[in-house]
Amino acid sequence: MRVLVGCLGAQALLACVVPSPWWVPDLALVGLVLVIGATPERWLPAACLAGLFTGALAVRVPIPIAFGYLICGWVLRTAGSRWDLADRRVQCLAAAGSSTLLTMGMLWLEDKWSVTLVGLASVRVFLTGLGPLLVRFLLHDVIIRTPH
C-alpha cells in the first residue's frame, strides 16, 4: 500500500506542476495495478483509496470516477487470477487497458468526443502504460538502490 500512497502523492504533485492533465499519467491506477499484482487480496482497500483520491481531485463527475476505480480493481483482481500481474509486461498492459477504459468512459459520460481529445487521451493512456516500469525503476534503482 505504500507504493499506492507514493503514486497518489506523485500524481498530486505532477497535477500541480504539469499544465495539462492529459500529460500526467494516471499514477493512481498504476499504484492500483502494482498493489493488486503484489497482494491481490488487498484489491478492495486499494481500489477504494485510489477511487476516493481521484474522485476528490475530479472537477466533474467524481462519483462515477471513484466507482470506475472500484470496477477496475475488481477486474484487475479477477484477471490477476488468470494472468501473472507481478510480471512487468502484464502490469503495463493492465495499466494501459484500464486507463483506456476509464478515459473513454469519462469522455462518454461527459459526451465530449473530438479527434483532439481522443489524441490527448491516447497520450495519457501511453504514459500510464509506461507507469509501472517508471515506478519500479524509481523504487528499485533510484530510491532504494537495489544491487543488480
pTM: 0.87
User: For the segment 13-53, what is each residue's pLDDT rounded down to a tens digit?
Assistant: 988 898 888 888 899 999 999 999 999 999 999 999 999 99
| Domain locations in the chain as residue ranges | 2-143
| Interatomic CA distance for residues 85 and 63, integer angstroms | 27
Cα 44–48–54 angle (5° rounding)? 145
Which residues lie below 8 Å from residue 23, measured CB to CB, with a gap of 6+? 123, 124, 127
pLDDT of 93 = 92
What's the DSSP call for residue 42?
G
What would the pLDDT profile of 106-141 be if each residue is shown by its tens digit? 888 777 778 888 888 899 999 999 988 888 777 766
Residue 68, pLDDT above cutoff 70:
yes
| Whether 33 contacts 73, CB under 8 Å | no
Amino acid (1-letter code) at residue 67: F
- Give exposure, 74-106, as e/b (b: 16+ Cβ within 10 Å): ebbbebbeeeebeeeebbbbbbbbbbbebbebb
For residue 23, what pLDDT is reported?
87
- The DSSP 8-state label assigned to residue 59 in this structure reads S
Helix (H, G, I), strand (E, B) or coil at 113: coil
